[in-house]
Amino acid sequence: MFDSFDSVGARGELDLIGSIRAWLGSRNPPSPEGIGDDCAVFLPPPGTQALLTTDALSYGQHFDRSVSAREAGIKLVNRNLSDIAAMGGTPDRAILCLLFGPDLAYAWLRDFVLGAGAAAEKEGLRIVGGDISRLEKGCFTSMLTVFGHSGRPLFRGGAAAGDHIFVTGDLGGSIEGKHFRFRPRLREGRWLAEDGRCTSLMDLTDGLAKDLPNLLPESLGARIDLDRVPVDPAAQRVAARQGGDAMEHAFCDGEDYELLFTVSGDTEASAFAAAWHQAFPDLRLSRIGQAVAVPREGRVLDHATGRPLPWTRGFEHFRAE
Amino acid sequence: MFDSFDSVGARGELDLIGSIRAWLGSRNPPSPEGIGDDCAVFLPPPGTQALLTTDALSYGQHFDRSVSAREAGIKLVNRNLSDIAAMGGTPDRAILCLLFGPDLAYAWLRDFVLGAGAAAEKEGLRIVGGDISRLEKGCFTSMLTVFGHSGRPLFRGGAAAGDHIFVTGDLGGSIEGKHFRFRPRLREGRWLAEDGRCTSLMDLTDGLAKDLPNLLPESLGARIDLDRVPVDPAAQRVAARQGGDAMEHAFCDGEDYELLFTVSGDTEASAFAAAWHQAFPDLRLSRIGQAVAVPREGRVLDHATGRPLPWTRGFEHFRAE
């Protein structure tokens, strides 16, 4: 990554920007829609609300040398698209900022941008501008800001007592590979927005234990049916290797990139699940519990025992030293 | 900046995000318009085109310890707003990404965000989201992505042979202080967009010598009347100190953040200038030349001699080592 003969420092800004445009190909439309003027210009779909989100991916913090440049580029795009999915939205345009030391390998940068471009292409996202900037030797960081739209965005905080709590896919152990191989749940998010029975929605990035209290309004807690929490086999492998409990990993590991949402309590949960499975036969849906008025015991309780679940920590991004 | 007792590394992510929200105050509206959900949501003004732009500001590359945190924060916002001005647009929303080592002083970060918030407030820009991310010790970099709108954006490349070439303010020597104290020409850009006589527009960031060829379509060059190029007194001071010619600094220094634009050739230049001065009595406007079919001699000629001007280089952001 940083020890190549052909490093980016041997090239000027214009050369690098030209290379990035070439690597992005059709994912970067011509100016004024894409790179080339002071701003990128586009017409937002009329009658929709605009969605803005951003996420970074840095060498040393979010990935290391065991990760290929292409995987890193794909992840930068997909973690942002997961935020658009978490609003029930559709991605439109993105701005890509790349910061790196002069010793970064040109081929590494190429594969990163090709990965990002491929992930963007898959979901119809256009990368219309950005910036490159210099960092110290040995550094690489990337930030993507995505602009999307939704006719009827879904928010956090919309649940009422009695609402069902659902989660897609399997939870925990994403460090085993899923954190680079996940698919942003865009179609599923849009389906939920159109279906009308979903009362709140987010994507799971910091672990169920940390994210669930952020989904519910402060006046609500949850009773969780542990038998229904979909523990990923990877969480079991991590637990076997590192010690601890697989269920703890399902609650506390970051980067599931699954959807966590509530459905109106007057909905028949099994009918909702049946409609879901007709739309998405290959993606597990689990009704893991129910929103309740905040119990005296704590915000997230074990449905079987009525006692608070022991896992309250999630993934902390900017950990103190 | 990096040697304080109270460094950001002593605080967790939630603490820092809470601090940043508090520092931004009313510039950060409540969720879902601002920070707090997976995306920030807003309604773009109907019937307008959306503008997207981004720019970074990094310690060591764009500023050093001689610059106050507040000045740096103001500059990050204003250099982005200058890109919105360069389209004749109005800024709406911004996403702020901050990357720093754990040894960054908490008070420095506070003053940076307060500076950015004050600059945003001045122009009605709302900072609705962002990301913080960890870098190596001793590092700080910031990126802002701004979303704006325009009913009739002005682009580069719209000039025809015979169009007048205008520039606002004075050029060169911004290193003497203007590069931190400039005002983005938003009102002026909107005036040009509404006036209807402007055929192309950009902001001067890399120096007239490098930017002018990027304003004109490839089929055109320019004849420049050197007597009318507004050389900043600061350019004269820099020339006296560093050697070289003040006019060279007016052409080649970066970060003027003035507007460079063309006006239709069938417009009476003096009538246009009179209208300008009525709208902006305090901002100098100079008609520095005329767009012409690309002459055999080169793209930018001295009007008096018909010979190419000797200055072809501008500010290069990502310089090779």
Q: Do A99 and B130 touch (CB under 8 A)?
A: no
**Cα of B40 to nearest chain A Cα, Å:** 5
Amino acid, single-letter form, for residue A32: P
Which of B17, B318, B319, B321 should one mutate to test binding to chain A, selecting the residue with the greatest count of A CBs within 10 A? B318
> Which domains, and CATH codes, for chain B?
8-34+49-150 (3.30.1330.10), 164-302 (3.90.650.10)
Q: Count interface pairs A-B at CB distance under 8 A.
A: 225
Cα(B84)–Cα(B123) distance, integer angstroms: 11
Bridge-partner residues for B302, per DSSP?
Answer: B224
Using a CB-CB cut-off of 8 Å, the residues of chain B touching A153 are 32, 39, 41
Burial class (CB in 10 A: 0-12, 13-18, 19+), A189: buried
Helix (H) or strand (E) holding A51: strand A49-58
- The chain A residue lying nearest B127, using CA atoms, is A52
- The chain A residue lying nearest B37, using CA atoms, is A156
User: Measured between CB atoms, does B315 come within 8 Å of chain A?
Assistant: no
Amino acid, single-letter form, for residue A180: F
- The chain A residue lying nearest B91, using CA atoms, is A39
Q: Do A51 and B58 touch (CB under 8 A)?
A: no
User: Measured between CB atoms, does B133 come within 8 Å of chain A?
Assistant: yes
pLDDT number for residue B315: 65
The per-residue pLDDT for range B180-217, each reduced to its tens digit, is: 999 999 999 999 999 999 999 999 999 999 999 999 99
DSSP readout, A102-151? TTSBHHHHHHHHHHHHHHHHHTT-EEEEEEEEE--TT-EEEEEEEEEEES
pLDDT number for residue A9: 87
- How confident is residue B320, by pLDDT bands cut at 50, 70 and 90? very low
Q: Residue B258: pLDDT above 50? A: yes
Q: Residue B317: pLDDT above 60? A: no
The per-residue pLDDT for range B66-112, each reduced to its tens digit, is: 999 999 999 999 999 999 999 999 999 999 999 999 999 999 999 99
Encode chain A (321 residues) as per-residue pLDDT tens digits.
887 788 998 888 888 988 999 999 888 888 888 888 899 998 888 889 999 999 999 998 889 999 999 999 999 999 999 999 999 999 999 999 999 999 999 999 999 999 999 999 999 999 999 889 888 889 899 999 999 999 999 999 999 999 999 999 999 999 999 999 999 999 999 999 999 999 999 999 999 999 999 999 999 999 999 999 999 999 999 999 998 899 999 999 999 999 999 999 999 999 999 999 999 999 999 999 999 998 788 899 999 999 999 887 776 554 433
Using a CB-CB cut-off of 8 Å, the residues of chain B touching A37 are 87, 155-156, 202
* Nearest in space to A176 (alpha carbons), one of A245, A242, A221: A242
* Nearest in space to B1 (alpha carbons), one of B120, B131, B111, B118: B111
pLDDT number for residue A320: 37
> What average pLDDT does chain B have?
93
- The chain B residue lying nearest A202, using CA atoms, is B38
Report how far apart, in Å, the C-alpha atoms of A257 and of each of A120, A170, B75, B94 are.
17, 10, 36, 25
Strands B164-168 and B259-263: antiparallel
Using a CB-CB cut-off of 8 Å, the residues of chain B touching A93 are 52
The dihedral region occupied by B73, where left means phi > 0, alpha psi between -120 and 50, and beta the remainder, is alpha
Using a CB-CB cut-off of 8 Å, the residues of chain A touching B13 are 316-319
The more confident residue out of A304 and B27 is A304
User: Measured between CB atoms, does B312 come within 8 Å of chain A?
Assistant: no
Tell which B residues from 172 to 201 touch A, by Cβ distance under 8 Å. Answer: none
Tell which A residues from 139 to 168 touch B, by Cβ distance under 8 Å. Answer: 139, 141, 143, 145, 147-148, 150, 153, 155-157
Cα(A286)–Cα(A270) distance, integer angstroms: 10
Residue of B46, B60, B318 with shortest CB distance to A16: B318
Tell me the whole-structure pTM to 2 decimals: 0.91
For residue B259, what are the contacts with CB-CB under 8 A and spacing of at least 6?
A: B85, B86, B166, B167, B168, B185, B188, B189, B192, B201, B202, B203, B204
Which of B2, B14, B31, B39 should one mutate to test binding to chain A, selecting the residue with the greatest count of A CBs within 10 A? B39
Tell which B residues from 81 to 100 touch A, by Cβ distance under 8 Å. Answer: 83-84, 86-87, 89, 93, 95, 97, 99
Evaluate whether A310 touches A252 at the Cβ level (below 8 Å): no
Q: Do B49 and A58 touch (CB under 8 A)?
A: no
Cα(A134)–Cα(B320) distance, integer angstroms: 10
Q: Residue B232: pLDDT above 50? A: yes
pLDDT number for residue A316: 58
Using a CB-CB cut-off of 8 Å, the residues of chain B touching A43 are 49-50
Report how far apart, in Å, the C-alpha atoms of B75 and of each of A41, A97, B119 are.
23, 18, 8
Using a CB-CB cut-off of 8 Å, the residues of chain A touching B318 are 8, 12-13, 16, 132-134
Q: Do A54 and B102 touch (CB under 8 A)?
A: no
